[in-house]
Structure 1
Amino acid sequence: MKKVLLASASLFALSAFAPAMAADLAARPYTKAPVAAAAVYNWTGFYLGGFGGYAWENTSTDPKMKGGFAGGTVGYNWQASNIVFGLEADGGWADVNATAGTPGVLAVTSRINSLGTVRGRVGVAFDQVLLYGTGGFAWINNKLTTDVLGVTASDSQFHTGWTVGAGVEAFFAPQWSVKGEYLYRSLGSENYFAGTVSSGTLNLHSVQVGVNYHFGGPVVAKY
């Protein structure tokens, strides 16, 4: 008889507390699990950077002009969907040279001591990676030096022309990107030493790498 009474009391207590438990569960709001933010890169904005590279003359004759260069870059990008349009200018120091003949006896040295470009860029962005083509205006400052029995004379001329190429750029931090590109440069002929020497057209291949800092924070959080 005692067992029956205890069982009845237990059932009564459970039935009394069940509605309160159900009400408590119903009152608790559903909480959605937090979702981590995904970084989406937008290329729009100004940037500044530095670059360095190597150039060599496109000619079938020797000696060929070749050497290194380094400088700075400024530019602006505008992104529409995944298409990126840009305008970029760069310039810097160079030591791209060649010497024909024997120095101290009879020799002529041609040396590019500065170079630069002003170019448009059009590319396709794959989030933080940009593949692009580029082209526009190119210039160099070239110095021609003659050496006859140790007596030297020099003349410098500013050459202008065009350039075309392609490259890839990628963000490695929220406001920093690294790029690599190839450019072909064709510079018009200039006359040296009061018109007595003509340089002919100078055509150069070049490869370069650079690092850019992008202003305005190109990373957008996507939830």
Structure 2
Amino acid sequence: MSRIALRAVASIAAVWTASAQAGDLPYRAPYTVNQPLNAYSWAGPYLGGNLGYSWGSVDNNPTKPSGFEGGVQAGYNWQTGPWVFGVEGDIQATGADDTFAPWKFSNPWFGTVRGRGGYAFSNIFFYGTAGLAFGELRGQTFGLTESRTNFGFTAGVGAEFGLTQNWSAKVEYLYVDLANSNFVVTGASNGYRFGTLRAGVNYHF
């Protein structure tokens, strides 16, 4: 019986000694990573595509061309803290057209070169944009077709959402004013003013 008691005492002493030694070791906290609040970077070049819908009206003509559009865009951003500034260019193919009586007007394509600027809440970027617009306005009547490449301006707003560090998605509204040109087939000065709402994706290099 005394041997069993001695063994029990020895075991308790050994456990107590091991616990005391373990208590002298430094405590190792669970590993964690602390990310800055605005860790997402918008800086650098990007390339992407978009799809949308355009609707508008032709000056000095009752037609109101509208239709789907799609294209590609490319740009470059600079970032200072939460402020993001950049330049972007895009080119779009469109199905916008309308016919009224003997006249038909369509906008087969257009493009823009714009500045962008806004505020980023980490991976969410709200911006305004404005710049140069250009595109084709095509008029048709009684079997005759005439095209003009018109220049003008564009302005709009948008929001872009960072999905990963390389991929983002965006929604954007632009107002586009393609200035008037004299059309022989209509005998009038015609231009195309329209809005376009589109969604797209960008790959950031």
Q: Same fold (TM over 0.5)?
A: yes
1:160 is matched with which residue: 151, 157, 162? 151
CA shift at 1:14, angstroms?
8.8
Equivalent-residue separation in structure 2 for 1:30 and 1:158 (angstroms): 73
Quote the residue 2:126 is aligned against: 131
Equivalent-residue separation in structure 1 for 2:147 and 2:141 (angstroms): 12
Deviations 1:63-113 (A, max 9, x none): 311111110000111111101101100002112112121xxxxx1211110
CA distance 1:97–1:18, change in 2 (3 Å): closer
User: What amino acid maps onto 1:122 in structure 2?
Assistant: G
8 Å CA contact 1:189, 1:198 repeated in 2: no
Quote the residue 1:64 is aligned against: 64
Equivalent-residue separation in structure 2 for 1:81 and 1:185 (angstroms): 31
User: What amino acid maps onto 2:73 in structure 1?
Assistant: T
8 Å CA contact 1:56, 1:206 repeated in 2: yes
Quote the residue 2:31 is aligned against: 34
Deviations 1:129-178 (A, max 9, x none): 1111110001111211122xxxx121211010001110111022332111
Long gaps (5+) in structure 2: none
CA shift at 1:212, angstroms?
0.8
Deviations 1:181-212 (A, max 9, x none): 11111111112349x73333321111111111
CA distance 1:15–1:180, change in 2 (3 Å): closer
Q: What's the TM-score once normalised by structure 1's chain length?
A: 0.78
Partner-residue secondary structure (3-state), 1:41: coil
8 Å CA contact 1:58, 1:205 repeated in 2: no
CA shift at 1:30, angstroms?
2.0
Give the fraction of aligned pairs with identical amino acids, expressed as a percent.
34
Instruction: Specify the structure having the higher radius of gyration (Cα).
Output: 1
Partner-residue secondary structure (3-state), 1:30: coil
Equivalent-residue separation in structure 2 for 1:46 and 1:123 (angstroms): 17
Residues paired across the two proteins, number: 202
Quote the residue 2:171 is aligned against: 180
Long gaps (5+) in structure 1: 102-106, 216-223
CA shift at 1:51, angstroms?
0.7
Equivalent-residue separation in structure 2 for 1:179 and 1:16 (angstroms): 68
User: What amino acid maps onto 1:155 in structure 2?
Assistant: E
Please provide the CA RMSD for this pair.
Answer: 2.9
User: What amino acid maps onto 2:29 in structure 1?
Assistant: K
User: What amino acid maps onto 2:40 in structure 1?
Assistant: Y
Equivalent-residue separation in structure 2 for 1:55 and 1:65 (angstroms): 8
Counterparts of 1:56-205 in structure 2 under 5 Å? 56-58=55-57, 62-101=62-101, 107-147=102-142, 152-193=143-184, 197-205=187-195
Residue range with higher mean Cα deviation, 30-39 or 174-183 = 30-39
